[in-house]
Amino acid sequence: MKIRSFRVIPTLPETLNPILSLAYNAWCSWNQRGLRLFRHMDRDLWEETSHNPVEMLSRLSQGRIMDLMEDEGFLSQMKRTTEEFDDYMSETGVYSFLLTQPIDFTIAYFSMEFGLIESLPIYSGGLGILAGDHLKSASDLRLPLCGVGLMYKHGYFTQYLSWDGWQQEASPNNDFYHMTLILEQDSKNQPVKISVNLAGRQCWAQIWKCQVGRVPLYLLDTYLEENHPEDRMVTGGLYAGSMEDRLRQEIVLGVGGMRALEALGIESMVYHMNEGHSFLVGLECIRVLMKKHNLDFHTAREVVRSSLVFTTHTPVPAGNDVFEIGLVEKYLKPYVDEIGIKWSDFLGLGRKRSQDDKEPFGATVFALKNSTFCNGVSKLHGEVSRDMWKDIWPHVKTEDIPISSITNGIHIPSWISDEMADLFDRYLGPRWKEDPDNQKVWERIDEIPDAELWATHQRRRERLVAFARRKLGKQLQARGAKPSDLQRAMETMHPDALTIGFAKRFATYKRGLLLYRDIERLKTILSSTEHPVQIIVSGKAHPRDHEGKTIIQKIIHIAREEPFRDRIVFLEDYNMNIGRYLVEGVDIWLNTPRRPLEACGTSGMKATANGALNLSIQDGWWVEGYQPDLGWSIGNGEVYENLEYQDQVESKAIYDLLEREIIPLFYDRGLDGLPRRWIAMMKRSMRTLCPMFNSNRMVEEYTDRCYMSAALNLKGLVADDFRKVKDLVKWKEFLFSHWDEVRVVDINHEEGDEVSVHTEITVKAEIHLGALGPSDISARVYFGTLDDAGNLSDTRDVTMDHIKEKGKGNHLFEARINCTATGRFGYTVRILPSNPNLVRAVDLGLICWA
């Protein structure tokens, strides 16, 4: 039986037509006026469709449409909203950060997941939410960026719990035609399609577009009739299946994503890989460059590396994909053969030790080796990443490993409550949305009256409690609970009690049970009638993470016992909507990762923007954000060898902080009933942290430090028919053939073994360069304090000047060191290759120490 398909799209009377442009743009997800407009149309249907404007419009009754056409208040609201949207899209009145030169290039941002709106479930957690916030801020900042990802038929799994508290998973189908998506079509109104080779079979993908304000997000979909059934499921689910399934997805994302941009006529100069899943972007860039410009592999790789930005997101091994060589060979050998490089050379690019035939192939390693700009997502994570991946650069000191850090941030308008946004509009003005990283804007927080700020926060806590009761009731009903249990669910928790939020992925390193180690002490804290405390918990474990599921089950069992039954609630199927209710309504955001495994964490930032205070281990962003008057630190950033002892110490610290500081401060009320000291802490936290930990600052930092430099690098290398890069490749060949001649003959200084503070010493080095010249190297004095073991610490380095040639390949260099402190110091000399067209010297692996 042959079936021909067609699409029916929502239509509205001409009067209401402007709403369609709003429905097909994610802008309304972070614009309060837009959200109110859709809620006004049909509040129940809005909730029922998970805030999906396209599906809601398709299900809106004719009677309700007629009512809206006669509703003058609604029509006025629609007019104001569409005018604001049109102004935004036409760049009117929007803040744009200042750059030394204009951006005349496009950035392509690749990610396996994007968390934009709850009705587009193609995200699992923090990585996807971060990617979504990146696109939103790029839109706000008018950055010429586009996103590239995958459109999953089942998305990430939905969670429900058995009566015994064991996590169960379901994978409902996504109906792409009822989402904020438009299918990309060619001039003949046919879907634009691309193909990739998957182990000898052509796998086709069509391209959906989700418009995110001014920024397009392109999503590849392989669920097509012309594909083999196995290939259709490449975009079946997020992080589903085996490592082979994962590799197939990453081929479609990296190689297919690049081909999708080409098919759409988008020429990007800079490519940003958000985690190692898109590691093949670089290889496809090289292939295209070789084909178009008749370049050899090494020349093309030099060009491509200069324009690649790579962000690593986790120090946890499971978060960095590693593939067996046989699997990589099955899928990538034909592709590598087509490019024309040795298979062993390709595998070496995916190994920390290039010549180690026993090492598997690492996606993160490949991305690090082929990207000039690499970063972690917090300062501590940058340090951890440098140590974690130091084997890639074996001759480089850990602190010099070329992995920097750009701390994550949140898109504040997306995560702030309607009520708090109104408060900010009145007292801070519109610049809290347009210019959120401006410290002066947030200083106006102090102008908000205490009573008004507290009333706003109280209202959000009340809404959180009401939401939790409804959600709990539905969960119990689904499990066949008795009427008495359902009634009790409607009375659980208290809208005025100190409320702690804990929501995240239930990976074991996040220590979901840390708060429950001393049940008797927790009972004492939560059962107080004078100073009540309650906890709302939510989160998913990976379907194959048995330990994570066990943690959830234990929390469920504890929450069913008295007196916890009315004080601890677990909300099933954690998603953006639940997350938003939590960060908007809790008083305390609890975070208990095992340091240093939390790369950044952004939930605490969202809670901060809504007036909550953080109680957290000093890990990720909280290392940078914590000050004693802004929140609470569990410990002082210690790292323990005995993990059981660590859990014991840090769980006790949580109880101590709650009993001695947090609860007394929260319930310390003045004659007017306001917790004045608590409110003062809320204000200090918002005033200090919001301008730092927002995604506008983050995207500006990526632009200033990575995107602009990457584009300039690329422009320089491709100019004059790639002359500079061709010269660079020849120079490298010459360098490698003569580097073994380089050595430091002697280093000394003339000022003696004792010098006065605030004086300078002149360090001289005689260096043998052989066939190389002074312009081929960079000699640097590496100096710092000297410890008892004779090791340098707190090091700095200074470039040495070439003074003269001494003959027979020897050269004299010198530099001055300013002795600004007293103590025992030492120095040595380090030599690196140098070339004006060389982007990153340490990648050559050529370092000579005295």
Answer for the pair 72, 233: CB distance below 8 angstroms, yes or no.
Answer: no
**Amino acid, res. 636:** N
Phi–psi pair at 227, nearest 5 degrees = -85, 150
CA 833, CA 61: separation in Å to the nearest integer? Answer: 71
Taking the C-alpha atoms of residue 295 and residue 285, their distance in angstroms, rounded to an integer, is: 12
Residue 537 predicted with pLDDT over 90 = yes
> In angstroms, rounded to a whole number, what is the distance separating the alpha carbons of residues 527 and 540?
27
For the cut 50, the answer to whether the pLDDT of residue 303 exceeds it is: yes
Confidence of residue 6 (pLDDT cuts 50, 70, 90): low
Query: For residues 675 and 666, is the Cβ–Cβ distance under 8 A?
Result: yes
Which pair of structure tokens corresponds to residue 3? 């079936």
Cβ–Cβ contacts within 10 Å for residue 560, how many?
Answer: 12
Which tens digit of pLDDT belongs to each residue from 77-136?
999 999 999 999 987 544 456 666 667 889 999 999 999 999 999 999 899 999 999 999
pLDDT in tens, 502-523: 999 999 999 999 999 999 999 9
Query: What pLDDT sits at residue 759?
Result: 85
pLDDT per position as a tens digit, 140-198: 999 999 999 999 999 899 999 999 999 999 988 999 999 999 999 999 999 999 999 99
Q: Quick one: DSSP state of residue 660? A: I
Higher pLDDT, 682 or 17: 682
Residue 353 has pLDDT above 70, yes or no: yes
AA letter at 450: D
- What would the two tokens of residue 179 be? 């989402």
CA separation for the pair 707, 704 (Å, rounded): 7
CA distance 320 to 313: 9
Q: At what angle do helices 450-478 and 576-585 cross, to 10 degrees?
A: 140
CB of 286 closer than 8 Å to CB of 297: yes
What are the Cα distances from residue 796, in Å, to 293, 398, 523? 42, 13, 53
Q: What is the pLDDT of residue 761?
A: 87
The residue-averaged pLDDT of 679-687 equals 98
What pTM value is reported for the model? 0.95
Task: Give me the pLDDT at residue 93, please.
Answer: 46
215, 107 in Cβ contact below 8 A? no
Q: Is a pLDDT exceeding 60 seen at residue 5? A: no
Q: What is the pLDDT of residues 548-576, one digit of tens each?
A: 999 999 999 999 999 999 999 999 999 99
Residue 419 neighbours by CB under 8 Å, 6+ apart? 456, 459, 460
The reported pLDDT for the residue numbered 850 is 87
Alpha carbons 222 and 459: distance in angstroms, whole number: 45
Give the model confidence (pLDDT) of 371-390 as tens digits: 999 999 999 999 999 999 99
**For residues 405 and 551, what is the distance between their CA atoms, to the nearest angstrom?**
32
- CB-based contact 694:439 (threshold 8 Å): no
Give the distance between the most distant pair of CA atoms in the chain. Answer: 96
Q: Which residue has the tokens 């000022």?
A: 751
Main-chain dihedrals φ then ψ at residue 46, nearest 5 degrees: -60, -45
Alpha-carbon distances, residue 669 vs 283, 450, 679 (angstroms): 62, 12, 11
- What tokens were used for 215? 């920024």
Average pLDDT over residues 401-427: 96
The rounded distance, in Å, linking the Cα atoms of 354 and 621 is 33
Mean pLDDT of 484-513: 94
Angle between helices 325-339 and 280-293 (to 10 degrees): 20
Hunting for tokens 């503070």 — which residue is that?
757
Instruction: Tell me how far apart the alpha carbons of residues 388 and 374 are, in angstroms, rounded to a whole number.
Output: 13
Stretch 28-47: mean pLDDT, rounded? 94
Neighbouring C-beta atoms of residue 66, cutoff 10 Å:
11
Calculate mean pLDDT across residues 197-217.
97
Instruction: Give the pair of three-digit tokens for residue 243.
Output: 């490592």
Tell me how far apart the alpha carbons of residues 778 and 797 are, in angstroms, rounded to a whole number. 12
Please classify residue 427 by burial: count the beta carbons closer than 10 Å to its beta carbon, then call 0-12 exposed, 13-18 middle and 19+ buried: middle
Distance (Å, whole) CA 373 – CA 713: 11
Q: Tokens for 680, please give them.
A: 């003062």
Give DSSP secondary structure letters for 617-631. ES-TTHHHH--TTTS
Average pLDDT score over residue span 258-277: 96
Q: How confident is the model at residue 481 (pLDDT cuts 50, 70, 90)?
A: confident
533-538 and 498-503 beta bridge pairing: parallel
